[in-house]
Amino acid sequence: MDPRIVYETDRLVVRDWVDTDGDRVFDIYRRWEVSRWLGASPRVMADRDTAGRTIERWNERNRDATYGVWAVEERDTATVAGTVLLMPLPEPSDGSASRGEVEVGWHFHPDAWGRGLATESARGAISHGFKAGLSEIYAVVRPDNVASLAVCGRLGMRPLGRVERWYGTSLEAFVL
């Protein structure tokens, strides 16, 4: 069965994951240069079996038409360059009340860095979210993740400063 296409851009097809993406998922998330920026306690993916379970978990989240964790496939080569996500942010870790904030995020294989693919896929995810009725979308980035901070700038996101609201760590927050 062909995966559901969520949206397309000039160079990208953003779609649900398929089982055959497992090797690429493992290749992306086994790398410290990618995983070091992710989650409250960054760690690399341990093995290929974990990639398969991760794909299953992501596709469960993708059943909602608005939100998801999607594969970013380059149209010309059909290579999965990375992941783009549009998901509700977790409950605040600072004890404040949740306001239902939604996050855009991106994780790319190093062989896809420096070509504008993160910006292009995130721009598409933001458009997808606004078309679905979202009124604002956030990005949260580790303060020393220079590349992702630059993506937020290229997306035209407004900086909100450093917050400790989500993921139990200090992050730079942006909103659009």
Domains of the chain, residue spans: 5-175
Q: How far, CA to CA in Å, does 104 sit from each of 52, 135, 168?
A: 23, 13, 18
Name which of 58, 65, 138 is nearest 100 in CA terms: 138
User: ∠15-165-125 over CA atoms, to 5°?
Assistant: 20
Mean pLDDT of 103-124: 98
**Rounded-to-integer distance, Cα 78 and Cα 118, Å:** 16
CATH superfamily of 5-175: Gcn5-related N-acetyltransferase (GNAT) (3.40.630.30)
Q: Does residue 1 register a pLDDT over 80?
A: no
**Rounded-to-integer distance, Cα 34 and Cα 110, Å:** 8
The b/e string for 17-44 (b: 16+ C-beta within 10 A; e otherwise) is beeebbebbbbbbbeeebbebbeeeeee
Q: So what's the pLDDT on residue 77? A: 97
Mean pLDDT of 147-167: 96
Mean pLDDT of 10-17: 97
Work out the mean pLDDT of the chain and round it to a whole number.
95
Structural element, H or E, at residue 174 = strand 171-175
Mean pLDDT of 74-81: 97
117 pLDDT tier (thresholds 50, 70, 90): very high
**Rounded-to-integer distance, Cα 31 and Cα 108, Å:** 10
* Model pLDDT for residues 46-72, shown as the tens digit of each residue: 999 999 999 999 999 888 889 999 999
User: ∠174-175-176 over CA atoms, to 5°?
Assistant: 135
Q: So what's the pLDDT on residue 168? A: 86
